[in-house]
A and B are shown apart, each in its own frame.
Chain A
Amino acid sequence: MPEILSELWAMLSSLQVPDLVLSAAAVVILDLFAIAIIFAVGRESRLCRKRWQKVSAGLELRRRAEQKELHYPLEADEILLGRHTSADIQIKDASVSRYHAVMTVTGGVWTITDLNAKSGTFVNDQRIRQKKLAPGDCIRLGNAKLWIVRRPFSEEEE
């Protein structure tokens, strides 16, 4: 057995393959691995989006401003609402505080919490400090009104 192995070793060692071909093959395989991973990440990303739909109950915020209907997808577990440019949902209205309220989700239930805004946060015309939201609820921040509604699913998500 060791003799066969040593013969095989000697035979393999005597193989003459140009360096360039070998290195190019190794580089191409490494590149292909990187490409395969990028594709796999794409598939995983779609899977994570589907899972997020379950976690966030597939809801979104809608607002009517300047005769346009604006849609705000809820794509994180904490959504900051306010006038400041760094807020997730920016509402350019003087009656809205810079950081007005924050929406959080746990187990498919969204909750809105007021961040001590001067003009207050209202849900279905009731001033609140913290309240669980249901589809169809109307949120009022200062003069701005938002509705929480079910998001129409795209074909890909279904």
Chain B
Amino acid sequence: MYKNRLSYSGAVILLFLTHLSMLGLVFIRGSIAAPMDFLKLTGAVIGLDIGYLLITLWYKQMTYTLDFMLLCILNISLIFQSCFGGIHLSVKHLISCVMCLAACEAGFLLTRNHEWIRKNKKYIYILIFILFISIIFFTDNQKKWITIGSFSIQPSEFIKPCFILVCAASIVELHEKLKIAFFYISKDSLTLCIVALFIFALQWWCHDLGSLPTFGMIFLCALFCRFCYPKAKISKRVVAIVCAAGVLVLIAAWNLAPDYVQKRLHVDIWADRYGDGYQQCEALIGIAKGGWLGLGAGNGSLYKIFAHDSDIVFATICEEWGLLYAALTIMLILIMLMTVLMNPPKNYYHAMMTAGVTAAFLMQMSLNIFGSCNLIPFTGVTLPFISAGGSSMMSCGFLVGMLKAGQSPLFQHEVMKRKRQKQRQKARKAAQKQQRRSAA
């Protein structure tokens, strides 16, 4: 029984069955070279399931469904990643999954009290500034990575959750206005625009134009929520203006994009099959080879291609597991995002935060999947929860923690109540001690 007094036995049993059925598929259809590798993978998946489910029993939350969804997706991802190029336990991805779960709890605990996070917003600006500095001065030659020994960190991934927190605001904050010349401008909106401008400039400087649409989408979503509050009717005029502005920005970006981006925008992948179109051609052939049910775990050939486990991971999964299973995994991520619509947050700050997280995930998923399928130019963005990469997984975990915070928020009076209870307990203990001393 969980702390919210609901029983999740059905969901938990099906969670185990989902992973066991996948492992069954690996066992019967996969190419297992050494039985020990398969047993290690099974042990890791079941261990992660049991371990995290036991940990969740300790947490006092209103909702647990996001935890189950995250755990299910992460273990599916671990099985996928462990089967590329033969069955083996991908220890690196297992560590990434554990880090993702830890980041999820951290995100939840940090953002569940919206009043506290609003009061401490200045620290988020400082954190963004530190990340900026680390990108400008510590990454190697505009490659976005900080290398420490055998580990590589991508600081720009951590800007995403910070930027979403900056985008979120309460109504009261939005109505604190400054008079600049003849205009009344919301202080919070002005700061947001400045931060967004810096982030876009940094992305441009880093040549990380793949992440730019994700940040752009979060920013647009924040503007949209500011002009048309999420719980209210939408002003058609504002929607029209925002859409028109978006189209203008897109046209401008299309024309002003640097040469290497223009090349990608206009490349004919089949004409340049062994050049710029190599990855996409191989990805499309892989998807076609896999068909509905796939070739079987570890039987694909896409693992030989660069970025098979990150940028074109959707195609690699389609080849080995089939389009049906790949589509269902994506559906699972979409359902995780949909839970937020079924149980909407009860405060504006969390509503705006949730909208930002959903926008970021949807944009990132679209860029990766449509890029793999050659429906849009290739961007090199990771698929949330599925692609390999510790920084990306941690960032995604933190974002899910933010979604969870919207589902089970902590209201200020509850914090005060807890503090008072603790104080009373302390006072009682002190009184008991004194009584004992006086009796002695």
Question: From residue 120 to 145 of chain B, which have CB atoms closer than 8 A to chain A?
Answer: none
Q: Say whether B235 contacts A76, CB under 8 Å.
A: no
The verdict on A41 contacting B342 (CB below 8 Å), with A29-B18, A48-B407 known, is yes
Given known pairs A33-B18, A37-B69, the reply for A44 and B325 (CB within 8 Å) is no
Is A27 a contact of B325 with CB atoms below 8 Å? yes
Q: Which of A11-19, A59-67, A119-127 contacts B (4 or more CB under 8 A)?
A: A11-19
Contact residues in B for A12 (Cβ distance below 8 Å): 27
- Contact A80:B335 (CB < 8 A) given known A20-B293, A29-B14: no
Of the four ranges (under 10, 10 to 19, 20 to 34, 35 or more), the interface on chain A belongs to: 35 or more
Q: Please give me the residue from chain A that is nearest to B20 by CB atom.
A: A29
In B50-87, which residues have CB < 8 Å from any A CB?
62-65, 68-69, 72
Chain A contacts for B63, CB-based, 8 A: 41, 44, 48
Q: Is the CB of B324 within 8 A of A23?
A: yes
Assess whether B150 is interfacial by the CB under 8 Å rule.
no
Q: Is the CB of A78 within 8 A of B347?
A: yes
- B69 near A51 with CB under 8 A, answer no
Chain A 26-53: CB-based contact to B (< 8 A → 1; otherwise 0): 1101111110111111111101100110
Interface residues of A in 45-95 (CB under 8 A from B): 45, 47-48, 51-52, 55, 75-78, 80, 84-88, 90
Task: List, in ascending order, chain B residues with CB within 8 A of A75's CB.
Answer: 231, 346
Q: How far apart are the CA atoms of A84 and B347 in the complex, in Å?
A: 20
Residue of B at shortest CB range from A52?
A: B346
Question: Total A-B pairs in contact (CB under 8 Å)?
Answer: 154
Taking the complex as formed, is B17 at the interface, i.e. its CB lies under 8 A from any CB of chain A? yes
CB of B384 within 8 Å of the partner chain: no
User: Is B303 on the interface with A (CB-CB < 8 A)?
Assistant: no
Partner of A33, one of B15, B27, B233: B15
Task: Tell me if B171 and A102 are in contact (CB < 8 A).
Answer: yes
Question: Judging by beta carbons under 8 Å apart, are B24 and A80 in contact?
Answer: no
B192 CB within 8 Å of chain A = no
For B, the interface residue count at a CB cutoff of 8 angstroms equals 60
Given contacts A44-B62, A48-B346, A78-B172, contact A88 B29 (CB under 8 A): no
Complex CA distance for A30 and B24, rounded to whole angstroms: 13
Whether A36 contacts B10 in the complex (CB less than 8 A), given A44-B63, A86-B233, comes out as: yes
User: In the complex, are the beta carbons of A78 and B6 less than 8 A apart?
Assistant: no
Q: Please list 30 pairs of residues, one from A and one from B, whose beta carbons are closer than 8 Å in the complex, sorted by A's number.
A: A19-B293, A26-B18, A27-B328, A29-B18, A30-B21, A31-B328, A33-B11, A33-B14, A33-B72, A34-B331, A34-B332, A39-B10, A40-B6, A40-B10, A40-B64, A40-B65, A41-B65, A48-B343, A55-B411, A76-B347, A77-B347, A78-B172, A86-B228, A86-B235, A87-B232, A90-B232, A106-B411, A106-B413, A108-B413, A115-B175
Residues of B within 8 A of A (CB): 4, 6, 8, 10-11, 14-15, 17-18, 21-22, 24-25, 27-29, 35, 62-65, 68-69, 72, 170-172, 175, 227-229, 231-235, 238, 293-294, 296, 322, 324-325, 328, 331-332, 335, 339, 342-343, 346-348, 351, 407-408, 411-413, 416
Given contacts A19-B29, A80-B232, 5 further A-B contacts (CB under 8 A): A26-B18, A42-B342, A44-B63, A90-B232, A107-B412
